[in-house]
Structure 1
Amino acid sequence: MSDLVDDPKMLPEAVPETLRRAIGERYLTYALSTIMHRALPDARDGLKPVHRRILFAMRELRLSSTGGFRKSAKISGDVMGNYHPHGDAAIYDAMARLAQDFAVRYPLVDGQGNFGNIDGDNPAASRYTEARMTAVAEALLDGLNENAVDFRDNYDGTLAEPVVLPASFPNLLANGSSGIAVGMATNIPPHNIAELVDACLHLIKTPDARDDTLLNYIPGPDFPTGGVIVEPPENIAQAYRTGRGSFRLRCKYEVEDLGRGQWQIVVTEIPYQVQKSKLIEKIAELIQTRKVPILADVRDESADDIRLVLEPRSKNVEPEVLMGMMYRNSDLELRFSLNMNVLIDGVTPKVCSLKEVLRAFLDFRQEVLIRRSHHRMEKIDHRLEVLEGLIVAFLNLDRVIDIIRYDDDPKAALKREDWGRTFVRATSEADYVSPPMGGEDGLTEIQTEAILNMRLRSLRRLEEMELKRERDALMAERAGLEDLLDDAALQWAAISDQLREAKKTFGKDHVWGARRTRFAEVGEVEEVPLEAMIDREPITVVCSEMGWIRALTGHIDLNRELKFKDGDAPRFMFHAETTDRLLVFGSNGRFYTLSASNLPGGRGMGEPLRLIVDLPNEAAIVDLFIHKPGRKMLVASSAGDGFIVPEDDVLAQTRSGKQVLNVRGDIRAQVCHPVTGDHVACVGENRKVLVFALDELPELGRGKGVRLQKYKDGGLSDATTFTLADGLSWLDPAGRTRTETDLTEWMGKRAGSGRMAPRGFPRDNRFT
């Protein structure tokens, strides 16, 4: 063998091919395989190949809805070995999902054992669970043995599997589907069978019906977990018209009165595909981080049904306000996207409208009806041929018995015998015909076999009468089938009857039939102000030099001596209320926003401010104050650059804060004071003071700013704003307030160097 490989003449001739073309062709093959045989459902039966093969394998195992259960391992093993050569874990996961009544609107598998739950727990291993088909699955398979659909060879050519299932109801929309292919995806919500059938019947009567008219019968999805759809009707109509869109889906809740003005909210239905355990974890996180301050607790009291209890922090809050915050911050409201990308005729992927999907299903049902009718006619013709021979035998019974008793080859003798024109096909005696497929008046192979296989107990007068009645009934049925195949109106009438039967079986009287998802018209969730969610109470905010912050209950004396850690001392201490928002300005030029209601209590030493916001260790706290809407702030760096910034623009929504004053290198943010008055006073480390008009400073949202004062050595120590007519004030070394009204000596233009500070100016170069 090695000699053959080493011989260049024995190697196949190389075919030149560009890398781009080679990769392109192979990737296209992979993409088409994923699109057609894995990810996208067929518009006719609404199934992907793995689901179709699971149901077919269960049918081969005779796992009917009224029969016994079989181990799931046996089912997934048969599917993998006979039809789906992929991992048994993937097959079992797909089968388990078909059994979950919270995932599938009309379950196709009846599971026995642990098949998972709405909390998100996985099903038990396949060796521990058992399964069989449901009546809904049997409706999808109805007609499979009547040549209703084509069959193809399985992956190794040893067996045959159906290309598509007959599907007596529009399963694509009834159970929905989702999948991600290559370059495309699909996401179809489940719907109600009774509504789908009504829309199909209307489409049969009015083939050119508009998509909007069908919405009179199908108002929207019907999710297995219920919920409330709050999408405007015009958006729903647009989604079904184009095949793309989304639906806002909310939980269903009730307000329980606990007496004495107390109440709690009980969530009884959660949105589709939301895992209850993760939902509770998210709500618990909201309580811990106080993103929804009016929510006090959440409890899971669920048993077979959903019961999530939400306790408010105060009875004075409206339930609608609390639920509005929950809709914004949790999965109690979500958007379910619609993307009706399906395979038309099992070949062509296309984003279809609601009408196109229903039309594809109805056209398929017509094809199934015609194929089943032809199959039934073939069966009738075969039976009529047998009946012809049996009746011939009854009319010539003595001769038949004589041939069978005495002839060496009775089969050949029966076929050679001239029986004459003795069989009447119809009830009229004028309608004589010769037996088919034989000689002029002979018997066929099939008829001869039937006569030879006839039992002696059948040789009685009653049996002859039964054969004639069966013949007449089959002839009448055959005539009806011929009329059906020749008349499209009769075909659509038969399809309508079949659909009505499906509606009767799986409609409102069925255990899964009633609509679960309701509709409500509501607007967008309004932004709830923080003050509306928090009880307004007085507090005293204390922050130490080392950055430990806390909130004491009530407005205490600001000169009161408090306990701090060893080596620490008070730095900021002021009165506030729980509804206030606090601003922290760091030496890195960033503003951080705190909610006063979220500050740690005053029983201990508090918590480090750096754990509450993302203030770097190398950055110091420049200032801490209460936010006042509409106010403006003067910010400046140690290099002497600064500007005016509106206080509303520095509010941050995240822990990381908001960059306002740009600093780099050794330069740090130095000043943050509220703007009051019409002039600015600056003092440098060189103790020179400069006073200039406030309108010389620009108002910015973010930046480096402009030069306030020029220095040869050092930098800015402090800056403030004041009213020139009232004079410039500061505290002298003795703690007394001094005011200088004649500032002519220090007046100048912005970016000047200034003059030495007046006599009595503080040694720390601070105005306050």
Structure 2
Amino acid sequence: MSDELDPPLPDLPAADAPSTQSEPLARAIGERYLSYALSTIMNRALPDARDGLKPVHRRILYAMRELRLAPSGGFRKSAKISGDVMGNYHPHGDSAIYDAMARLAQPFAMRYPLVDGQGNFGNIDGDNPAASRYTEARLTLAAEALMEGLAEDAVDFRPNYDGTLTEPVVLPAAFPNLLANGASGIAVGMATNVPPHNLHELLDACLHLIKSPDARDETLMNFVPGPDFPTGGVLVEPREVLAEAYRTGRGSLRLRARWVREDLGRGNWQIIVTEIPYQVQKSKLIERLAELIQARKVPILADVRDESADDIRIVLEPRVRTIDPEQLMAALFRMSELEVRFGVNMNVLIDGRVPKVCSLKEVLRAFLDHRREVLLRRSAHRLDRIANRLEVLDGYIVAYLNLDRVIAIIRHEDDPKAVMIAEFGLSDVQVEAILNMRLRALRRLEEIELRAERDRLSDERAGLQALLAEESAQWAKIAEQLKEVRALFGKSAPGGMRRTEITDREDVQPVDMDAMAPREPVTVILSRMGWIRAIKGHQPLDAEVKFRDGDGPFMALHAESTDKLMLLGQNGRFYTLPAATLPGGRGLGEPLRLMIDLPNDAAVIDLFAWREGDMHLVASTAGDGFIVGAADILAQTKAGKQVLNGVALLRRRVEGDHIATIGQNRKMLVFPLSELPEMARGKGVRLQRFKDGGLSDATCLTLSVGLSWKDPAGRTRTEADLSEWLGARASAGRMAPRGFPRDNRFN
């Protein structure tokens, strides 16, 4: 077994041989990386399906056993334990060993802790354990059950890393620890993530599998309905999803926090979270909920408080008492770690050699086959011990029947051993036992007692021989052992009841945050250097506002706090900014590019409030454009949404029945709006044909009303008759009307 797990050392070169050798780089790197990958997979990251342990955990438990740290005994310093593990079995960093041992002692990480810790071993908030010199530890009853039979040749042993000691290849494992406590790890090219389960349910499934070896995974789910996490929670998955995960060994499960509505009287209430999902740090969860409140992403949530002591108690205080608590929690489940996805990947080592993604049945079958092998080895070991004892007892009986002669031989003969063998026909072992007997033991040589012990051992030997000869008797014995373990760690034991609730109830639709948020007028200001803020109330857009040195006004608009603000970048992408998340007007704002992924070389083209149902004209500097709907420009991420292919020039809200365009050559064209296509994304079509230059501006208008603009003096001028500039889309157009602004802008 050792030769298969550890690659053999290369032969050392002879003294006169050259010290270097040549080989292709690809082969050299490939062989070395393959060795590293195999070592990581088999000796570090993946657990064994038989005892559910990785080598570091197995060595920790074995070293603690060697230190005699029994559950009923005293504690020893964790530094002593990690030092022994590192020096004798696991030549790696002591901090890694201590961290692994600390996890075995954490009741929020292990469903059935294997180490009994005394001191600070970390908490569910995510705090690290105290230094190893400050904590103490010993084994638990569960760990003792995993190692029961080590002294009875139940498993193979192999030399440790330096060949001075031996260590078990695998533990006897009285219960299916892999599924009971779960496992996680990342190897090279593969990973594992096994959820913890309830031990009583697992043992029930094992007993059923003994009776019906051909049972299906779906049948085993009658005994194991799903994972049972140490932190409880609610598993929100239908039976079909769980069945598929157990059948294939892969899946994704939704785990939620458990909560209750606490009535405070007079119509007031608050939500109390009593259990959080597995592997979620409470402190980070509180921080996330506080961020949601600060960013006003959940405006109806007023406050979050952590009132936890030994148990979990997170208080969520609503701002609006008329809201349904189910809807509020549904929104929080979507936005925070109150709901997480647990990925199931039951990739484990079969027989300590072959990594395989196993189903529920295959994992239980690997455990039961291992238990049968342990039973056979322990029985064979016991038979050897009985045979040796019976041989000694027969010698004692002969000595008792000839006690005076035996004493005389011992007193007077020079070689009593040879004389006794020749005279009484005893074996070497029997004579050695008689000669090594103390005088005070002679009074115990009662023939009745000797024969009673011999008869009892003979009966035990017959029973063991019958057990080894019949497979059904072996499985009956294993079932009996599993029932004993179930009585010790099952539902009747402390902490043995199921903690995680499994439900497939329908999801409640989360509350519409925009509808429940307070609607307040705001004035959004964007500076030339890209700093944005929102001032309360609708201030005059040309009002004096303070900016940073060297900065000044760029854009300003009136909006509501519940609006979604749309920003068009020069790169043709639209970005969404909730107005409620903008910094207030007390300061000078925050950089826009920290809120969205707008490249530094892409200028801001337009900023406006999104309205459902609106249509927008977008155009590029090359003179191409199209009409896009409001739903098609709404972005869901900071990266924005690509709409216009090309360098964006403008965005105009579509109204009226015609479009007017003007080029850099001051030629203007008016054509019907119906000639522009509606698209969700693309380059668009040619708006106006230019001989030189490109597009300067475009606007939407109603032909019967005409076109208006402001002259340099600020007076509004209107051109009612636009027939001179009417034409088909992509025409060249005619020179702009007399008095049209010199900057070629309609507004």
- 2-side partners of 1:460 and 1:759: how far apart? 136
Aligned to 2:142: 136
1:361 deviates by 1.1
- 2-side partners of 1:14 and 1:610: how far apart? 56
List alignment gaps of at least 5 residues for structure 2: 1-13
> 1:120 touches 1:277 (CA, 8 Å); kept in 2?
yes
In the alignment, does 2:155 pair up with 1:125? no
Aligned to 1:541: 523
> 1:104 touches 1:224 (CA, 8 Å); kept in 2?
yes
- 2-side partners of 1:40 and 1:379: how far apart? 36
> 1:585 touches 1:591 (CA, 8 Å); kept in 2?
yes
Residue deviations 1:715-748 (CA, integer Å, cap 9, x gap):
6554322333444455678877766554322212
Distance 1:734 1:333, change over 3 A: same
In the alignment, does 2:264 pair up with 1:258? yes
Structure index of larger Rg = 1
Give 2:91's match in structure 1, choosing from 70, 85, 90: 85
1:226 aligns to what SS in structure 2? coil
- 1-side partners of 2:74 and 2:173: how far apart? 23
- 2-side partners of 1:559 and 1:123: how far apart? 58
> 1:548 touches 1:608 (CA, 8 Å); kept in 2?
yes
List alignment gaps of at least 5 residues for structure 1: 1-7, 419-441
Aligned to 1:105: 111
Aligned to 1:467: 450
Aligned to 2:400: 394
Distance 1:411 1:11, change over 3 A: closer
- 1-side partners of 2:652 and 2:223: how far apart? 65
Give 2:157's match in structure 1, choosing from 137, 146, 151: 151
> 1:328 touches 1:525 (CA, 8 Å); kept in 2?
no
1:391 deviates by 1.9
- 2-side partners of 1:208 and 1:275: how far apart? 41
1:182 deviates by 2.4
Aligned to 1:330: 336
1:647 deviates by 2.2
Give 1:484's match in structure 2, choosing from 467, 476, 501: 467
- 1-side partners of 2:532 and 2:352: how far apart? 66
In the alignment, does 2:47 pair up with 1:41? yes
Deviation larger for 463-472 or 211-220: 463-472
> 1:678 touches 1:694 (CA, 8 Å); kept in 2?
yes
Give 1:565's match in structure 2, choosing from 522, 542, 546: 546
- 1-side partners of 2:399 and 2:593: how far apart? 104
- 1-side partners of 2:69 and 2:527: how far apart? 76
Give 1:744's match in structure 2, choosing from 702, 716, 723: 723
- 2-side partners of 1:11 and 1:688: how far apart? 88
Distance 1:525 1:23, change over 3 A: farther
> 2:628 touches 2:678 (CA, 8 Å); kept in 1?
yes
Distance 1:681 1:204, change over 3 A: same
1:460-539 aligned at under 5 Å gives the runs: 460=443, 463-523=446-506, 526=509, 529-535=512-518, 537-539=519-521
1:195 deviates by 0.8
Aligned to 1:274: 280
> 1:718 touches 1:767 (CA, 8 Å); kept in 2?
yes
In the alignment, residue 352 of structure 1 is paired with which amino acid? C
In the alignment, residue 698 of structure 2 is paired with which amino acid? A
In the alignment, does 2:25 pair up with 1:25? no
Aligned to 1:309: 315
Give 2:618's match in structure 1, choosing from 635, 641, 647: 635
1:299 aligns to what SS in structure 2? strand
Distance 1:614 1:239, change over 3 A: closer
Residue deviations 1:616-660 (CA, integer Å, cap 9, x gap):
777665544332212211233455443222222222234454444
RMSD: 3.2
Distance 1:62 1:690, change over 3 A: same
In the alignment, does 2:17 pair up with 1:11? yes
Give 1:170's match in structure 2, choosing from 173, 176, 179: 176
- 2-side partners of 1:764 and 1:371: how far apart? 96
- 2-side partners of 1:23 and 1:548: how far apart? 52
> 1:591 touches 1:659 (CA, 8 Å); kept in 2?
yes
> 2:526 touches 2:533 (CA, 8 Å); kept in 1?
no
Residue deviations 1:77-132 (CA, integer Å, cap 9, x gap):
22222222222222222212111111111111111222222222222222222211
Distance 1:275 1:359, change over 3 A: same
Aligned to 1:724: 703
In the alignment, residue 563 of structure 2 is paired with which amino acid? D
> 1:542 touches 1:570 (CA, 8 Å); kept in 2?
no
Aligned to 2:10: none
Aligned to 2:11: none
In the alignment, does 2:652 pair up with 1:673? yes
> 2:523 touches 2:557 (CA, 8 Å); kept in 1?
yes
2:724 aligns to what SS in structure 1? helix
> 2:329 touches 2:510 (CA, 8 Å); kept in 1?
no
> 2:541 touches 2:557 (CA, 8 Å); kept in 1?
no
- 2-side partners of 1:608 and 1:361: how far apart? 59
In the alignment, residue 134 of structure 2 is paired with which amino acid? Y
Distance 1:137 1:618, change over 3 A: closer
1:210 deviates by 1.0
Distance 1:339 1:766, change over 3 A: closer
Distance 1:103 1:478, change over 3 A: same
